[in-house]
Amino acid sequence: MIFEPDVETMSREAMIELQSARLHEMVSRVYEQVAPMRERLEEAGIKPSDIHSVSDLSKLPFTKKTDLRDTYPFGLFARSTKELARIHASSGTTGKPTVVGYTRADLELFGKVCARALAGGGAEPGMILHNAYGYGLFTGGLGFHAGGESLGMVVVPASTGMTERQVMLMVDFGAQVLSCTPSYALTIATEFARQGVDPEDIPLRYALVGAEPWTETMRAEIDSRLGVKSVNVYGLSEIIGPGVSFECVEERSGSHINEDHFLAEIVDPDTGEQLPDGEEGVLVITTLTKEALPLIRYWTGDITSLNHSACSCGRTLTRMAMVKGRTDDMLIIRGINVYPSQIEAAFGGIDELAPYYRLLVDRTGTLDELEVEVELSEDAFHKVAAEFLSDEIVEADHLLRRVRDRTQRSIRENVGVSAKVTLLEPGKLPRSEGGKAQRVVDKRKLV
C-alpha cells in the first residue's frame, strides 16, 4: 500500500520543481533564523537569492555533527524552545549527546514519513504493530509509534527488553507487524524457538528493521525464523529519526527516500564532490520542510549509493542502497579500510555460521591484528558435539578446521585483510536487548 501516492509516485520533473521551491524557502528561513548558519553562509559568500533550484545545492556548505556539538544544546534551532513540542537526543558514546527538536508540524511530519515506511513494508490500517524499538530519547520508539497511529494501526508500545514477555504478548495479541532493530529481531526469533512458537501458527507477517547496519544473510535469517518479510528502514535523529527512507515489500532492493522532505546527495568522502548514481560515498541530506531544526547539507557519515531507476512498487522516490557503515565506524587494518558489515557479508554464505560475531582489533608491535569471533550455527554445533561424544574427535576437528579455513579465506578474498577466526559455541556472544549491536572492540584505542 502507498500511504501518500500523490507524492510517492510523482514524476521526476514535478519532484525537482517541488524540491527546488522548498530548498529556496528553507535556505532563506535558515539565513534569517539561525545565526551560526547565517555566518557560515556569509563566509561562503552565499545569499538565499543565489539558491533557485536543486542544481544550486553544491554551492552550499556542509553541516556536520560537530556543528551540532559546538552549539549544544539548541544553537542550531530555528525556533525558540517555547515553540517546540518535543526534544530527542542521540546517545553519543562519549560526552554530550546530539540534541534535536521538533515543532508540532515536525512531529506530524515524523508520523507521516514513518507511516509511509510502515505502509511500504506491508502494514495496513487495523493491523497490530508490536513496536519493540526503544521508547525514550532515542527516536525509534516514538517515531514508529506515531507512524503506526498515522496509518491507523493498533500500536503496542512494547519498547525493548523483557523478551520472554514480548513474545508472549506478540502471540496473545496476534501481532501482524514487528518493528525493532535487526539484532533484536534475531533475539526475538531465538525466544520464539525457546517457547516453541511456530511462526506459521501466528499472524506475524512483516518486520520493519533498521537503526543499525544489517545484511542480506541476516534478512534471510529474520525472515525464516520469524516467518516474516523484513524490510529496511533508515533514518537518523538529526534529520528526523526513522522514516528518512524505507524499502518496499515488493522489491526489497534499496530504500525509497522521502525526498519531498529530505533531499539526498552522495558525495566523495575526501573531496565533497557530488557522485553519480551507483557510486558509493557519504550520504548528505538537506531537510526541506523541517521547522525546528532545518539542516543544510548534513553530512550523515553513512556510506551508501543512490539509484534513480523506476521501481515495480510504483514509487518514483529515489532509492538508496543498504548502508555499508559509517565513516567513523570504518576500521583501518594494516592500511586497508574495513567496515564490519563487509566482514559479515564475507562469512554470510557459510552455512555452519550464525550471524553473531564480534571483531577484536589489536596491535602487536606496529602490526594491526584482526580477530573475528563468530558463533557456529546450532546445526553445525550439534554435529560437532555429536562427533565429540561418539569419540570421532578427528572428524569433529576436521569440520571445525574446514569452517575456520573457509571463513578466513572468504574474508581475505572479499575484504582484503587477513583475520584470525575463532569459532564459538551458540549463545556465547552477548545478545541484543533491543538497542544497537556493538560489534567492534578496538583495543588499539584503549591504550
Residue numbers at the binding site for ligand DLL (CB under 6 A): 90, 133, 138-140, 210-213, 232-237, 241-242, 300, 302, 323, 326
Within a 10 A sphere around the Cβ of 2, how many other Cβ atoms? Answer: 15
For 304, the enclosing helix (H) or strand (E) is strand 298-304
Largest CA distance in the chain: 80
Residue 267 or 421 with smaller CB distance to ligand DLL: 267
Report helix angle 393-415 to 378-389, nearest 10. 150
Kindly state the smallest distance separating residue 399's Cβ from ligand DLL, in Å: 34
Kindly state the smallest distance separating residue 255's Cβ from ligand DLL, in Å: 7
Question: Taking CB positions, which residue lies at the least distance from ligand DLL?
Answer: 210
Residue 62 or 383 with smaller CB distance to ligand DLL: 62
Kindly state the smallest distance separating residue 220's Cβ from ligand DLL, in Å: 17
Residue 48 or 235 with smaller CB distance to ligand DLL: 235
Angle at 241 between CA 268 and CA 126, to 5 degrees: 130
How many helices (H) and strands (E) would you count in the chain? 12, 21
Residue 233 or 263 with smaller CB distance to ligand DLL: 233
Residue 7 or 323 with smaller CB distance to ligand DLL: 323
Q: Report residue 241 CA to chain centroid gap.
A: 10
Residue 128 or 209 with smaller CB distance to ligand DLL: 209
Kindly state the smallest distance separating residue 179's Cβ from ligand DLL, in Å: 8
Contacts of 28 (CB under 8 A, 6+ apart): 48
Residue 41 or 233 with smaller CB distance to ligand DLL: 233
Kindly state the smallest distance separating residue 342's Cβ from ligand DLL, in Å: 13
Identify whether the C-beta of residue 302 lies closer than 8 Å to the C-beta of residue 282. yes
Grid coordinates representing 65 are: 555533527
Identify whether the C-beta of residue 293 lies closer than 8 Å to the C-beta of residue 323. no
Residue 127 or 208 with smaller CB distance to ligand DLL: 208
Residue 68 or 421 with smaller CB distance to ligand DLL: 68
Kindly state the smallest distance separating residue 186's Cβ from ligand DLL, in Å: 15
Within a 10 A sphere around the Cβ of 295, how many other Cβ atoms? Answer: 25
Kindly state the smallest distance separating residue 396's Cβ from ligand DLL, in Å: 37
Identify whether the C-beta of residue 57 lies closer than 8 Å to the C-beta of residue 46. no
Cis before residue 73, ω within 30 degrees of 0? Answer: yes
- Classify 264 as helix, strand or coil: strand
Query: How is residue 54 annotated by DSSP?
Result: G
**CA distance linking residue 75 with residue 66, whole number of Å:** 12
Cα distances (Å, whole numbers) of residue 330 to 37, 297, 337: 29, 22, 6
Q: Which ranges of 60-175 does DSSP label H, i.e. alpha helix?
A: 65-70, 104-120, 139-151, 163-173
Identify whether the C-beta of residue 440 lies closer than 8 Å to the C-beta of residue 358. yes
Kindly state the smallest distance separating residue 358's Cβ from ligand DLL, in Å: 18
Kindly state the smallest distance separating residue 409's Cβ from ligand DLL, in Å: 27
